[in-house]
Amino acid sequence: MKIDGNRPSDQTDSTRSTDAAQKLAEKLAAKSGDLKATSGQDTVQVSGDAKLLAAAVAATNEPTPIRTDKVEAAKQKLAAGEIGNDAGRLADRIIDDLLKE
């Protein structure tokens, strides 16, 4: 008796390995910025949308520059008591902001 319930009938091992190789080639091409990645007979073309997505992901991983002038101005206002001295007003503004969504 042969039980083969875990294997899809329309996909063989070679098809799965080809699919995996194609996905890997697409990822590598997207990271390197190439439009095409070739391996033997197989060719993968990466769309402009995929390149844009890769650039967006790379941009989110870059550190955001700290605006030291704004930080220093806020520290001076806090030390002078110009901001941060009305906890009730702060709580009201936080609640109002949360209710907007």
* Domain limits, the chain: 13-62, 66-101
Give the tokens for residue 9. 């009938």
Q: Which neighbouring-strand residues pair with 38?
A: 43
Res 14 pLDDT > 50? no
Dihedral over Cα of 15, 16, 17, 20: its sign: positive
Kindly give the residue spans of alpha helices, DSSP state H, lying in the chain.
13-32, 48-61, 68-80, 87-100
- pTM of the entire structure? 0.33
The whole-number average pLDDT for the span 21-45 is 67
**What pLDDT band is residue 32 in, cutting at 50, 70 and 90?**
low
